[in-house]
Amino acid sequence: MNAFYNYGTFLKLSKLVVLEDSSKFSHLLKKIDYVRIIEAKLFNKEAKMQIFAGIVFFLAGIGLGIFLWSVVGFGITILISIAFVLQGIILFLKGIGNYRQY
């Protein structure tokens, strides 16, 4: 779907080249570059939040595991702390995967 949209955008831009002078086309390309940079910055903010949340979940899982181990014992404690630690690792890796260079 995205490939068809990009191809359609390319066709519209190529028609602009034929119909209009190249200065307007280059101005349009600059605007597209600015939009991509802003989009990358927004994705990077989201990715940084995911990385931070992953670290927090990871540390909370370890802390909660130690606390519950001292209070409750072995039982469900290990499952709860493993769930928090795994969620933290997953969020951390998703954040790293979503981080974009621009």
How do the domains of the chain map onto residue ranges?
2-98
Percent share of the chain, pLDDT over 70: 66
Structure tokens at 96: 């790293």
Per-residue pLDDT reduced to its tens digit, 63-82: 888 887 777 777 777 888 88
Phi, psi of 100 (to 5 degrees): -120, 145
| Alpha carbon distance, N-terminus to C-terminus of the chain | 24
Question: What's the pLDDT at 1?
Answer: 44
Question: What's the pLDDT at 4?
Answer: 46
Band (pLDDT 50/70/90 cuts) for residue 27 is low
Structure tokens at 53: 């949340």
Q: What mean pLDDT do residues 43-54 have?
A: 84
Q: What is the DSSP letter of 54?
A: H
Contact by Cβ (8 Å): 50, 93: no
Q: pLDDT averaged over the chain?
A: 73
Residues 15 and 88: their CA atoms lie apart, in Å, by: 49
Residue type, 21: D
